A and B are shown apart, each in its own frame.
Chain A
Amino acid sequence: MLGWVCSYTPEEIFMAMGIRSCRLYGGDHQATAMQNLLPVNLCPLVRACLCEGLEGAGTGASLSGVVSTTSCHALVHLANAFQHARGGSGRFFVYLLDLPRTLDRENEAACLAFAASLRDMAGRLSEFYEVAWDDNALRTAIAIQQQVRLLLQEIYRMRQERPEQFRAAGLLELVRHAGCTPKEELAALLRSLVASLRDQPLEAIPQVVYNRGFNASQPGSRGVVATQAPTGAPPEAGERMRSSGVNRRTGQDDEHVPSTYLERLRRQGPPRGPRLLITGSPLPPAYLDLIEELGGNVAGDDLCQGYRYCLHSVDAGLDGDGGDLFLGLARSYLQRPPCPRMLAGQTRFAYLQALIRECRAQGVVYHALKFCDASLYDYTLLRSRCVEAGIPLLFLETEYRDAGLEQARTRIQAFLELLPENLSSGVHLDADLPASTSR
């Protein structure tokens, strides 16, 4: 099992080589024994991922390698730490994928450079795992992954239409699960899920009451949940959540239970409330549950573990690159909506502006992980634009664990209470964000 972290990591390459891969999310791992490798003033997600990779009883224990990226210095040091702890044996694969920071559509050099990095990574993987490279396998992998992304986009579209029915954390968990599941299997599951969601309103699905804790929300740490009939019958405690694919803890195949996915996607709590967009750093799902519990409707997100994972269009690139699959792949990844780390200037804000409009968001929640420079700087830019455009914005900082939930509760509550007042005072939430002149 090969672990990876950043959403700019093309899983298609792993798939083409038949290497099982799994995105690391840190789970409920808090840096403990690994504190001697990474300091406390470094991204808590990265520190948790290191612990997951080195100490985890499930996926972590079965990892045969890790691919990190140069997205930020925390991820660079994640690769260093894995190399430091495991690399010496020669039996653990550590690769740091070079990721350009500029993504101007005209910047062909960046695409070529990223393509070269991808080619190099494929070569190293091929050597380490002793797998021959096959272009056709990559074509197939790209096609399957594209299907998965389109299906996830479809679910996002449905959520955007009726956010009051969807549990945002459930959708986030679904996308997280996608990063850890064989894609053929996942595509089949998503197809049935999309069909079910089209045919059957979520209100008809039995409600699931989740433990509020982060553990229960993690795809890799199947928390104890209880189902609750729509009539409000008492929860049937003790039923263990199941899903298709491999349980990241036990490594065992779980039974394929699409209805469970539907249950997890079903929204609980107040059905109506202001529509919100969540952006910034990856957010623990428990915070999304909290937002909904307090009356917010998450209509969209711009999270690398969420919607942005689904936004790719690879096929067009492949046709236009003379058969250079790596270049097509590089182009598609670099040209998708940028994350806060990218030096995208106006592109990122134009994208967010469009997303706010599409989601008809009445407010934006910006989540920053502590010590995440990319988000902390990105926030200042977004803040000034939102202030100018009159878009209500809440800044939420967490340490990637649910310890701060109660503190966040007060802030979220106050924010949601203010939203109707803002709206009644005539704020135009679809106002254009001011343009930036950054190149």
Chain B
Amino acid sequence: MTSNTAGETMDFESLMHNMLRDRRRWNRVLSSPLTYITFGGLIRLTRGNWPLDAMYRMGLFAFNEIGRAFTGKAPVVWSSAFFPVELAWSLDLCPFSPEVAAAYIAGLGFGEETLTMGEQAGYSRDICSFHRCIAGAAAAGNLPRPAALLASTLLCDGAPLLFQGMAALYDAPLLVLDVPYDSGPDAEHYVAGQLEQVWLNLAELTGRRPDRARLAETVQHSEEFRVQMQRVSDLRCRVPAPVSGNDLLGFIYLFFVGQGSREAAAISTSLAKEIERRVAGLGKRGQPGRRPEKFRLLWMHLKPYYSEELMKFVDQEGAVLAMEEFNHIYWPPLDPQQPFLSLARKTLSHFAFKPVTERIRVMEDLARRYQVDGIVHFSHQGCRQSCGGALMIKEALQEKGWPVLILEGDCVDGRNEACAGMLTRMQAFLEILQDRKRMEAAG
């Protein structure tokens, strides 16, 4: 996730990989404050090498938070993807996203052995590799011990079930946010009530004082993040693309962990400014279109984190990720004075947790807005939510005139058979786009 567009691996990643090569040293290395001092310094030294300064800032933020989690500076709460993590920030806890950790583990090259450990712990190869990886790392005792676990049922069947198992493993309480499919006023009331209860329970469990003013402040930070990321999305409508979508798919830490923190608000502001400068041609990388932009793609779901090979290939072929489903800001403004209701509305407004026609509608809007040539649905093998609708989405979007590729693969597990033919399929798809362009040009 810290690779630049050309796919050059950051030195610090190699160093980290070497440090952690011997798994028996993991706990010693990860729980030592010296690790974070040393590597924090190294990250600072590499600032100029990051494709976006905001990525550098996010890397540092994530690294510091991981340090806080592993060195026990604050109670750690595990939060599943899409859980409103603002609740944890408002109590000055240390939120930890095991799903993001799995992506990092894969990125550092430890995916295979960690997945194997997850499978040995009883987790089938048919379930999501993010979760298998977490289970493996947890079984090996390589993850920070949670004071509590926060799981949302939004979009993911597996995460709450995995967290249930992890709660048993760590003998820690599990707090569940049950998200209904319906999004009317009753549903908002139902979710808001649960959020308040979770917040109060979490405060009690971690010995924190529930401070509503602090919660409002957190929701305000989250709103700033939303506004700035919306600004980023607006700027990305430009042709050629002012920023690499592949780089922005590395921002999962901010989306899954950062929202509600002061840092995420600041980083998103800096990202928006940086892209603005690029668009204006003022920044050091302010020359848009460094490489001729042959194809503009809309990218659905995530990407492989265990290897940059696919994304490098896409880049080399002159295709840009003009927009990603993941980076689409879909939720309405948050009102700090109504924190629970606002967060409930945010939770319930996810377009993919509605009839598949809504996801199709949103993708169609994005495809138009970002003037894409084609759409890629990266079908992460274990994701029933995303893959389950892929064929219907493909059919509907193709009828609207966009070529769609369902690219079967895996975000974390490079051993997956589906990964083998990814480059070939992507190449064939880009050739189709090329032919279409030729035909259009020929009238």
Give the B-binding residues of A (Cβ under 8 A).
35-39, 41-43, 70, 72-74, 76-77, 79-81, 83-84, 96, 98, 100-102, 109-110, 112-113, 116-117, 120, 340-341, 343, 345, 368, 370-371, 373-374, 376-381, 383-384, 397, 436-439
Contacts and interface: CB of A to CB of B under 8 A. Distances in A.
B162 interface: yes
Contact of B158 (A74, A101, A377, A379): A377
A72 B160 CA distance: 12
Contacts of B282: none
Contact of B157 (A83, A102, A373, A381): A373
A343 B164 contact: yes
B113 interface: no
B356 A77 contact: yes
A98 B158 contact: no
B350 to A, nearest CB: 13
B251 to A, nearest CB: 25
A376 B194 contact: no
Contact of B172 (A96, A381, A437): A437
B387 A42 contact: yes
A414 to B, nearest CB: 19
Contacts of A36: 391, 395
B384 A377 contact: no
B174 A42 contact: no
Given A101-B176, A373-B127, A439-B175, A378 B388 contact: no
A397 B125 CA distance: 12
Interface string B155-199: 001101110110110011111101011100011001001100000
Given A98-B181, A376-B127, A72 B384 contact: yes
B203 to A, nearest CB: 15
A134 to B, nearest CB: 24
Interface stretch (B26-34, B48-56, B116-124, B368-376): B116-124
For A77, A377, A383, A384, the residue with the greatest tally of chain B CB atoms inside 10 Å of its CB is A377
Contacts of A41: 126, 381-382, 384, 387
A38 B384 CA distance: 10
A41 B126 CA distance: 8
Contacts of A101: 153, 160, 176, 178
Contacts of B181: 70, 76, 96, 98
Contacts of A80: 355-357, 388-389, 392
A437 B147 CA distance: 12
A112 B186 CA distance: 10
B145 to A, nearest CB: 13
15 contacts: A36-B395, A42-B384, A42-B388, A70-B181, A73-B385, A76-B385, A76-B388, A77-B389, A100-B180, A343-B161, A374-B161, A379-B122, A384-B122, A438-B173, A439-B174
Contacts of B382: 41
B114 interface: no
Given A73-B157, A80-B356, A377 B178 contact: no
Given A39-B391, A77-B389, A377 B161 contact: yes
Contacts of B128: 373
Given A98-B180, A101-B160, A376-B123, A81 B392 contact: yes
B390 interface: yes
A377 B172 CA distance: 18
A180 to B, nearest CB: 26
A343 B384 contact: no
A158 B182 CA distance: 42
B124 A100 contact: no
B182 A117 contact: yes
Contact of A373 (B135, B158, B180): B158
A318 to B, nearest CB: 22
Contacts of A384: 122, 168
Nearest to A39: B387
Contact of A383 (B122, B151, B164, B384): B122
B259 interface: no
Nearest to B355: A80
A37 B391 contact: yes
A296 B176 CA distance: 39
Contacts of B158: 373, 377
B391 A73 contact: no
A343 B176 contact: yes
B182 A437 contact: no
A41 B157 CA distance: 14
Contact of B168 (A38, A376, A436): A436
A43 B392 CA distance: 16
Nearest to B131: A377
Contacts of A110: 178
B379 interface: yes
Contacts of A72: 157, 384
A77 B388 CA distance: 6
B278 to A, nearest CB: 38
A436 B167 contact: yes
Nearest to B187: A113
For B122, B171, B172, B187, the residue with the greatest tally of chain A CB atoms inside 10 Å of its CB is B122
A438 B388 contact: no
Contacts of B151: 343
B186 A113 contact: yes
Given A80-B356, A80-B389, A102 B173 contact: no
A341 B271 CA distance: 40
Given A39-B390, A80-B392, A109-B190, A438 B174 contact: yes
B70 to A, nearest CB: 23
Contacts of A35: 391
Given A42-B387, A376-B126, A381 B180 contact: no
A37 B384 CA distance: 13
Nearest to A42: B388
Contacts of B168: 381, 384, 436-438
Contacts of A368: 124
Q: Nearest 10 pairs between A and B by C-beta?
A: A377-B161, A77-B388, A73-B384, A380-B122, A80-B356, A438-B167, A73-B385, A438-B174, A376-B124, A436-B168
Interface in B319-358: 355-357
Contacts of B172: 437
Contacts of B381: 41
A383 B135 CA distance: 14
Given A39-B388, A74-B384, A102-B178, 17 more contacts: A37-B392, A70-B181, A74-B388, A80-B356, A80-B389, A109-B190, A343-B151, A343-B153, A343-B174, A373-B127, A373-B157, A373-B384, A376-B127, A377-B158, A384-B122, A437-B167, A438-B173
A227 B153 CA distance: 50
Interface in B135-159: 135, 151, 153, 157-158
Given A98-B180, A373-B158, A84 B164 contact: no
A370 B193 CA distance: 36
Contacts of B162: 377
A289 B107 CA distance: 48
Contacts of B357: 80, 83
A37 B135 CA distance: 32
Contacts of B193: 109
Contacts of A340: 161
Contacts of B153: 101, 343
Contacts of B190: 109, 112-113
